Amino acid sequence: MKFVDEFRDGALARNIAANIAREVDPRRSYHLMEFCGGHTHAISRYGIADLLPANVRMIHGPGCPVCVLPAGRVENAIQLAQTPGLILCCYGDMLRVPAADGMNLLKAKARGADVRMVYSSADAVKIAQENPERQVVFFAIGFETTTPPTAVAIKQAQALGLKNFSGICNHVLTPSAISHILQSPEIRQLGVLALDGFIGPAHVSTVIGSRPYEYFAEEFQKPVVIAGFEPLDVMQAILMLVRQLNEGRAEVENEFSRAVTRDGNVKAQLLVAEVFELRRVFEWRGLGLVPYSALRIKASYADFDAELRFRIPPLSIPDNRACECGAILRGVKRPQDCKLFGTVCTPDNPIGSCMVSSEGACAAHYSYGRFRGAA
Amino acid sequence: MSTIKPNYTRPLDFKQGRVDMTHGSGGRAMAQLIDELFIAAFDNEFLRQMNDQASFPAPHGRMVMSTDSHVVSPLFFPGGDIGCLSVHGTINDVAMSGARPLYLSAGFILEEGFPLADLKRIVESMAQAARDAGVPIITGDTKVVEQGKGDGVFITTTGVGVVPEGINISGERARPGDKVLVSGTLGDHGVAVMSLRENLTFHTSIKSDTAALHGLVAAMVAAVQDIHVLRDPTRGGLATTLNEIARQSAVGMMLHEDQLPIREQVKAACEFLGLDPLYVANEGKLAAICAPQDAERLLQTMHAHPLGRDAAIVGEVIEDPHHFVQMETSFGGRRVVDWLTGEQLPRIC
């Protein structure tokens, strides 16, 4: 497959692996967090851990859109989906995310709710056009990658004069989440979590550019290497981080230069700024309340805001007490450290959100890597 | 002279007509549908007995039986339709024991309003598939459900076959050291069907691989009598099939990603849909497990058959108390190839 196979080449991978092995300092360890679920997935699926020296440890970050969505927002979606005549559209990953009592949108659908899986926000607009007599709500989630398409859908609905289309905005922001992790007591005071550097997001960075990461590198003295989602990208980024740490540098470097610029996609940024504004605070699963970390629909587009149209109440539902998703999303614990992992919590019956999406740390480890933990 | 024809029935309108409730009511309309469509298409000596059951001579030896319900959407897809699929699917399930399939039955659940033209196309496709395979459909049943209570047509087929003397193929016979073979490219059927789903239309030259595999199986058991396991990786794909066998045989498996035959177009479609070809359905492929010393001969036999041209040895059976199916990735790492979880759902990023 052109433009894909080149980035999955085993011989090149062994080459980079040899360079990493040669260059790591055996007297220290390298704790590297890949922020994005896309990287978590690639690391697990291609078995990248097998190619790394023992003192390079990958820590899975919170960058999995469905994983960080709090149960209360899922519950909002489930309740809304039960409104007679209403069609709720969402991305496929969203369907199995558990809310209270193990309920999810797939189960709500089985009980008669009209829940439709869409591949893009444009499909939701199309469904609204085709069903003028029914309310169609797009449950919008994701980081900066999926935010511009939601903005486009809302603008499109406005241009078409659709009265039956609206969105619930759950879009969240990568830089705020990284700041939050770096400011957490586990890192700043307790030293529980060693965190030496970041692999920066691929698709998110195509939109926001590399500039927003410059602050962390400077303020927290942590190197960041933005990398593509292919396994060779990840390997190369690890090598670049090892080099920065060896040389005592803390810079933003861009491995994914074929798609990411310093300024990012300005057109998409303007579109987002036109339709959305910052929320003062938003709840993240695992991270709790994070200030200025999410977006809501601006007053000028209030007609398309489902939260207003359906008077959706704020709900906060605590996670299962034994669930370690919070600590896992902050990188403090590994999936196999959770008592529920692989016993009551499996991809078929996820208790915590990290087990839902294949990008979630627990699901990725369960599906691809659990032979490593097996005695 | 009178122009009244006392026994005249107006023929079914296969151009404009539609299935209605009378076609399942047991009355004259049903009899007409059976005569003009099913008997006409499937015609054979057993069906012509016109009894509530088909009567056939029982062969000597161990017999096998399998049943399969088909609910595919869309009903017509590149490379086939629900009709030939329902014949191939059951023939293959019977053949995976090493058996020679002998007879089929077919049960239809039709939705009121379904176009008779489509039904005719499906039934003729079944008849053609059965004729090509040399396995007659000897008994059947038709029911009609009200509009909205079915999805056009559901077809259940059952098959019986007889296993040649000395053949013992079964899911619990995989042993550490055995080789794992597949008969050809993986994921073709699933991608062909997905390309037509309403919210997912994309253009592809991929056709469903739907085919009856009993001829290939006959050649294989003639060449290597002691094949340990045969199974057709339909729903859930090769990954699911191998996990089933690993559990049944209480073994693990190690696959080699480099060796897996997957078409470039299937890889590309899976890539942009966020799916894994190992979990995508096949309808004309089989997985075989045999002793290492038999593997090369079995592979050559498969290569010599038109349905096994792209066959490959893709891995081996290993000892593993956890019964994991693992894979050495082309990239150089290792990973679990797990059971399919729920449905494959596309990822967001």
Residue by residue, DSSP assigns B194-244 as HTTSGGG-------------HHHHHHHHHH-TTEEEEE---TTHHHHHHHH
Summarised one tens digit per residue, pLDDT across range B11-58 is 899 999 999 999 988 888 899 999 999 999 999 999 989 888 999 998
| Interface residues from chain B to A (CB-CB < 8 Å) | 199-200, 258, 264, 267-268, 271, 322, 324, 326, 328-336, 338, 341-342, 345-349
The residue ranges of DSSP E strands in A156-215, in sequence order, are: 165-171, 197-200
Predicted pLDDT of residue B344: 60
Structural domains of chain B in order of their starting residue, each with its CATH number:
21-163 (3.30.1330.10), 179-336 (3.90.650.10)
Percent of chain A clearing pLDDT 90 (strictly above): 69
Contact call for B267 and A141, based on CB within 8 A: no
For the residues B152-172, what does the mean pLDDT come to?
A: 96
Mean pLDDT of B132-151: 95
Do residues A272 and A165 make contact, with C-beta atoms less than 8 angstroms apart? no
Q: Indicate the range of A43-52, A225-234, B94-103 predicted with least confidence.
A: A43-52
Strand partners, B230: B288
Does the beta carbon of A38 lie under 8 angstroms from any beta carbon of chain B? yes
Establish if A119 touches chain B: CB-CB under 8 angstroms.
yes
- Under 8 Å CB-to-CB from A3, ≥6 apart: which residues? none
Q: Is the dihedral of CA A34, A39, A42, A44 positive or negative?
A: positive
Is the pTM higher than 0.95? The answer reads no
Q: How many residues does chain B have?
A: 349
8 Å CB contact between B119 and B37: yes
Q: Write down the pLDDT at residue B349.
A: 45
User: Helix, strand, coil % (nearest 5) of chain A?
Assistant: 45, 20, 40
Tell me how far apart the alpha carbons of residues B264 and B23 are, in angstroms, rounded to a whole number: 46
Mean pLDDT of B107-125: 97
Q: Starting at the edge strand that comes first in sequence, how are the strands of the sheet with A114-117 ordered?
A: A114-117, A87-90, A136-142, A165-171
Q: Assign A75 a pLDDT band (cuts: 50, 70, 90).
A: very high
Instruction: From residue A161, give the alpha-carbon distance in Å to each of A122, A126, A154, A170, A177.
Output: 15, 13, 10, 24, 36
For A216, half-sphere exposure in the C-beta direction (CA atoms, 13 angstrom radius) is 27
Q: Do B348 and A66 touch (CB under 8 A)?
A: yes
Residue B280: predicted pLDDT:
93
Q: Of A211 and A103, which is predicted with more confidence?
A: A211
Instruction: Indicate which of B319, B324, B335 best probes the interface with A, i.e. most A CBs within 10 Å of its own CB.
Output: B335
Task: Output the pLDDT for position A288.
Answer: 87
Q: Which ipTM did the prediction report?
A: 0.81
- pLDDT at position A354 is 87
* Cβ-defined contact of B341 to A347 (cutoff 8 Å): yes
Model pLDDT, residue B339? 87
Exposed / middle / buried, residue A311 (Cβ in 10 Å: 0-12, 13-18, 19+): exposed
Return the half-sphere exposure (C-beta side, CA atoms, 13 A cut-off) of residue B26: 1
- What's the average model confidence in pLDDT over B321-326? 95
Instruction: Mean pLDDT check: name the lowest of A351-360, B247-256, B332-341.
Output: A351-360
Q: Touching check for A139 and chain B: CB below 8 Å?
A: no
Residue A88 pLDDT class (50, 70, 90 cuts):
very high
Centre a 10 Å sphere on the Cβ of residue B309 and count the other Cβ atoms it contains.
Answer: 13
CB-nearest partner of A38 from B331, B336, B349: B349
Q: Are B318 and B222 in contact (CB under 8 A)?
A: no
Chain B: closest CA distance from residue A48 (Å): 6
Inspect the interface and report whether the beta carbons of B336 and A369 lie closer than 8 Å. yes
Measured from the Cβ of residue B73, the count of other Cβ atoms closer than 10 Å reads 12
Contact, A33 vs A62, CB < 8 A? no
**pLDDT above 80 (res A193):** no
Q: What is the pLDDT of residue A191?
A: 66
DSSP one-letter string for B96-161: TTT-EEEEEEEEEEEETT-BHHHHHHHHHHHHHHHHHHT--EEEEEEEEE-TTSSSSEEEEEEEEE
The helix or strand, by DSSP H or E, that contains position B293, with its residue range, turns out to be: helix B292-303
Phi, psi of A105 (to 5 degrees): -70, -30
In B, which residues are within 8 Å of A95 by CB distance? 345
Alpha-carbon torsion A251, A255, A258, A259, what sign? negative
pLDDT at B25: 85
Q: Please give the distance of CA A248 from its chain centroid, rounded to a whole number.
A: 29
Per-chain mean pLDDT for chain A? 92
pLDDT at position A188 is 67
Where does the pLDDT of residue A248 fall: very low under 50, low under 70, confident under 90, or very high at 90 and above?
Answer: very high
Computed from CA positions of residues B137, B143, B144, B146, in that sequence, does the dihedral angle turn out positive or negative?
Answer: negative
- From chain B, the residues in CB contact with A371 under 8 A are 322, 324, 326, 334, 336
Lowest mean pLDDT among A13-17, A63-67, A224-228, B34-38: A63-67
Cα–Cα nearest to B140, from B129, B156, B162:
B156
The upper half-sphere exposure of residue A139, i.e. CA atoms within 13 Å in the direction of its Cβ, equals 30
Which one is predicted more confidently, B5 or B234? B234
Q: What pLDDT digit, counting tens, does each position of B305-320 carry?
A: 999 999 999 999 999 9
Which helix (H) or strand (E) segment is A230 a member of?
none
Two tokens, residue A325: 């998703």
Mean local confidence (pLDDT), A8-29: 95
A·B CB contacts under 8 A: 113
Q: What is the mean pLDDT of residues A242-254?
A: 97
Check residue A374 and give its pLDDT.
Answer: 61
Which of B198, B260, B325, B331 has the highest number of chain A CBs within 10 A, making it the mutation to test binding with A? B331
pLDDT digits (tens, 9 = 90+) for A293-349: 999 999 999 999 999 999 999 999 888 888 888 888 878 888 999 999 999 999 888
Please report which residue ranges of B252-291 form alpha helices under DSSP H.
264-273
Cβ distance B212 to B87 under 8 Å?
A: yes
**Lowest-confidence range among A100-114, A168-182, A186-200?**
A186-200
Residue B345 has pLDDT above 60, yes or no: no
